[in-house]
Amino acid sequence: MELLCPAGNLPALKTAIDNGADAVYIGMKDDTNARHFAGLNFNDGKLVKGADYVHEHGKKLHVAINTFAHPDGEERWRKAVDNAVAIGTDALIIADLGVLDYAATKYPDVERHVSVQASTTNLEAIKFFKNNFDVERVVLPRVLSVQQVRQLAKTSPVKLEVFAFGSLCIMSEGRCYLSSYMTGESPNTAGACSPAKYVRWQETDKGLESRLNNVLIDRYQSDENAGYPTLCKGRFEVDNNVYHALEEPTSLNTLELIPELVKMGIASVKIEGRQRSPAYVEQVAKTWRMALDRFAENPDAYDVEQAWMNTLSNLSEGSQTTLGAYHRKWQ
Amino acid sequence: MKFSLGPSLFFWPKNDVEAYYQQALNSKADIIYLGETVCSKRRELRAKDWINLAKELNSNSDKQIVLSTMALLESPAEIQTMRRLCGNGELLIEANDLSAVQMMYELNLPFVAGPAINCYNIATLKVLLRQGMSRWVMPVEVSGDWLKTLLQQAEEENIRDQFECEVFSWGYMPLAYSARCFTARSEDRPKDDCKYCCIKYPEGRKMNSREGERVFILNGIQTMSGYQYNLVNEVPEMVNMGVDIARISADNEKAFTMLDRFGNQLVTPEKYPLDGVEECNGYWHKIAGMSVA
C-alpha cells in the first residue's frame, strides 16, 4: 500500500521523500488545484526540480489539477495538464470531466486518477470514469464507512485510494458550496475553503471571536484553544442550543485501520495537508512510514503505538483525531 | 421561458407529499420534479410509491413530470433503488450523481443533469451530451456572467440546441452533502439511530451564528442555504441570455405564489426588493451567495 504525502513547496516535497513517502502530490501556482493559497505550490521551475528529486529517489509524483475549469480560462487547466505531463508526472489527479476528457484524449498513456473533488462514492460512478476516461485510480471522498469501502474494493474495476490522515472534510468533497455561500469562493471554483483573506480575529469582552467574511464562526473563552475558522467547524446555535452543529475541530487519523485497508487491497493511503509546513510533513510521513513498515514486517502483531498517536494528535486540529465516517457512530 | 417546481428537499409525511403534488398540478409550473434526493432512510414514499405518484401526475396533466434521484449514493441498496427509478419506462430522470448518468447511458435514455452534478464548462457539457443529457441544471454557485459566457460558447460550438438550460431560481439551496446526519446530531443521536427525526422539521432546522444571524438550514445529511435564493428580478436577464427554465424549489406552499410571480415577470416585469434577512441573490452576482446585490 502506497504512502502518498502532500507537498506545498519544494522543501516539503524533499522532506516527504526523505521520510518515507512512496509518492507525493503537488499542485501548480494557480487556481487549477484545490489548495490555491498564497505562497503555496509550484511554479514552472520548482515543478521541474520537484519532479527530478522525486524521480532520482525512485518515487512517484502526482500532480493535482482538481478544481473546475472556468469558461473564460479553460486553457489554464489544459496547460496545467500539458505542464504536468512535460515534467514527467506519474499521475494526474483530476476532478473536472472536461479536463479528464482532454487528458485522456491527448495523453492516453499518462495515468489518470479521479480526484476526491469528483465525489465518486459508488460502483456505478466509478464505472462512469473508467468507461469514459480509462482512469487508473479513484480517490474516495471521506463519506464512506469502512464497510462501504470494503464493498467497493471488492467490485471496483479500478484501484482505490483513501484518505488516511489530516484535516477532516466532513462533506462529500467537490459537492460543498458552503464556502462560496459565505465568501463567494469555494474549493470548486477558487481552489480554497474558508479562504484566509476573509478571516478576521477580534478580542471582545465576550471572548476572542473568529469571523469569516464577517459571519461569527466561533467565540473562545481564555481557557479554550482557538482554531482556524473553517466554517463547518465553528459553534452555532440551533433552537437555543450552542454547539459544533456540523463538526468539531478535529483531524482524521486511521492508523488503526491499516490492517483492514491492506486486506481490502487499497492501493494508496493519502495524507492531507499541502498547506502544511515541511516540519508537519516530516512528522506525519515518518510516523506513517513506521506504522506501514511495522505492519508489513509482521501483520499479525500489528498494534498502533501510543507514541504514534501522540505525535499525530499533537499535529491535529484541536489536538484530537477521529476515524470520521469510516466509523459509523461518527455519522 | 418555462418554470419548474424542483423536487421537495425535505422529509414530509406521505399524505402531505401527495396533497402538495395535487396542488402542484394546479400551479403555474410547466415541469414538476419529484423524488427523494437527500436520504435513502426517508421511506414515507418508497421508490415504487414515487414512481406511481409521478405516473399518476403524468396521466392527469400536460405538465412534464420528472423523477429526481439521490445526490449521495453510498451503498449497493441505494444503487438498486435508483436503478428502479431509472428503469421506470415512462418518465424523464433527473440525475444528481454520475452513477445515474452512467445508468441512463446504459439504458440509452435522455436525462436531466441536476444541480448536484459538477458541470462548470463547455468541455464538461460536451461529455454529458455524449452520455445523453437533454437538460442541464447549473450548479447553484455559478454566477450569471459565468453562465452567459458558457451559453455563448455553446452557441459558437453549435451545441446550444442540443440541451435546455435550467437555473435554480428560488428557494433554499442545497449546498452540501455529508455522511453525517446533522438533524440527528442536533437531537444528539447518531445517524443509525436517527428515528427519522427529519420528519419533525418540514422546513429543516435553522442553524444560526451566535449573533442570531441565519447561516444554514440543516436538512438531514444535506446542508442548505440559510436564506432563500431569489432571482425574481433576474428573470428578464435570464430570458435574454437564453435560459430555458427557471426552477422554483418546493420548499413549501410559498413556491406556488412564487411560480405566479416569476411567470408574471415575463408579462409585466416588476422589481421586488429582497428581504435581506430571509432572501439572497449573491451567487448570481458573483459575490458571497448569502448576500443581496
Q: What is the CATH number of the domain that holds B17?
A: 3.20.20.120
Helix axes A97-106, B122-131, angle to 10 degrees: 80
Q: How many residues make up chain A in this entry?
A: 331
pLDDT at B47 over 90: yes
Q: Are A282 and A225 in contact (CB under 8 A)?
A: no
Name the nearest CA neighbour of B69 among B85, B46, B49. Answer: B85
pLDDT at B23 over 90: yes
pLDDT at A119 over 90: yes
> Given pLDDT bands bounded at 50, 70 and 90, which one contains residue B196?
very high
Q: State pLDDT tens for residues A190-200.
A: 999 999 999 99
pLDDT at B276 over 90: no
Interface contact flag, A127 B146, Cβ < 8 Å = no
Element spanning A25, H or E: strand A23-26
Q: State pLDDT tens for residues B202-241.
A: 999 999 999 999 999 999 999 999 999 999 999 999 999 9
Cβ–Cβ contact A108 with B under 8 A: no
pLDDT at A202 over 90: yes
- Pairing status of strand A199-204 against strand A207-212: antiparallel
What pLDDT does residue A218 have?
97
Taking only Cα atoms into account, the Rg of chain A, rounded to an integer number of angstroms, comes to 20
Name the nearest CA neighbour of B184 among B172, B195, B174, B168. Answer: B195
**DSSP secondary structure letter of residue B74:** -
Q: Are B279 and B230 in contact (CB under 8 A)?
A: yes
What's the structural domain count of chain B?
1
Residue B270 lies in a domain: yes
Residue B180 lies in a domain: no
Q: Are A308 and A254 in contact (CB under 8 A)?
A: no
For residue A247, the chain B residues in CB contact (below 8 A) are 180
Residue B162 lies in a domain: yes
Taking only Cα atoms into account, the Rg of chain B, rounded to an integer number of angstroms, comes to 18
> Given pLDDT bands bounded at 50, 70 and 90, which one contains residue A138?
very high
What pLDDT does residue A320 have?
86
Q: What is the mean pLDDT of residues A298-322?
A: 93
> Given pLDDT bands bounded at 50, 70 and 90, which one contains residue B198?
very high
Give the span between the Cα atoms of A326 and A3, in whole angstroms: 19
ipTM: 0.97
The three-class DSSP label of residue B223 is strand
Give the span between the Cα atoms of A265 and A267, in whole angstroms: 6
What pLDDT does residue A300 have?
96
Q: State pLDDT tens for residues A144-176.
A: 999 999 999 999 999 999 999 999 899 999 999
Residue B118 lies in a domain: yes
Q: What is the mean pLDDT of residues B252-259?
A: 97
Q: What is the mean pLDDT of residues A40-61?
A: 96
Q: State pLDDT tens for residues B78-116.
A: 999 999 999 999 999 999 999 999 999 999 999 999 999
What pLDDT does residue B277 have?
86
Work out the end-to-end distance of chain A between its first and last CA atoms, rounded to an integer number of angstroms.
27
> What region, left, alpha or beta, does residue B116 occupy, with left being phi > 0 and alpha being psi -120 to 50 degrees?
alpha
| Nearest CA distance, A21 vs chain B (angstrom) | 29
For residue A236, the chain B residues in CB contact (below 8 A) are 207-210, 215-216
Mean pLDDT for chain B overall? 97
> Given pLDDT bands bounded at 50, 70 and 90, which one contains residue A53?
very high
pLDDT at A229 over 90: yes
Residue B21 lies in a domain: yes
| Nearest CA distance, A188 vs chain B (angstrom) | 9
CA distances to A301, A304, B256 from A289, in Å:
17, 13, 59
> Given pLDDT bands bounded at 50, 70 and 90, which one contains residue B189?
very high
Q: Which residues of A29-61 are buried (b: 16+ CB within 10 A; e: fewer)?
A: bbbbbbbbbeebbbeeebbeebbebbeeeebbb
Phi, psi of A171 (to 5 degrees): -100, 160
Name the nearest CA neighbour of A62 among A113, A1, A132. Answer: A113
Domains within chain A, CATH numbers bracketed: 2-168+250-330 (3.20.20.70), 178-243 (no CATH)
In chain A, % of residues over pLDDT 90: 94
Residue B207 lies in a domain: no
Name the nearest CA neighbour of A137 among A29, A2, A272. Answer: A2
Mean pLDDT for chain A overall? 96
**Per-residue cell: A203:** 478580542
β partners of residue A11? none
B55 burial (CB, 10 Å; 0-12 / 13-18 / 19+) is middle
| Nearest CA distance, A159 vs chain B (angstrom) | 17
Interface test with A, best of B73, B126, B159, B216 (most A CBs within 10 A): B216
What pLDDT does residue A38 have?
87
| Nearest CA distance, A16 vs chain B (angstrom) | 31
Residue B60 lies in a domain: yes
Q: State pLDDT tens for residues B61-81.
A: 999 999 999 999 999 999 999
Residue B288 lies in a domain: no
Q: What is the mean pLDDT of residues A33-45?
A: 91
Out of A121, A182, A247, closest to residue B74 by CB:
A121
Out of A131, A148, A171, closest to residue B74 by CB:
A148
In chain B, positions 235-264, which contact chain A (CB-CB < 8 Å)? none
> Given pLDDT bands bounded at 50, 70 and 90, which one contains residue A31?
very high
Q: Which domain holds residue B61?
A: 2-173+227-277
Q: Where are the beta strands (DSSP E) in B31-186?
A: 31-34, 64-68, 92-95, 111-113, 133-137, 164-178
What pLDDT does residue B226 have?
98
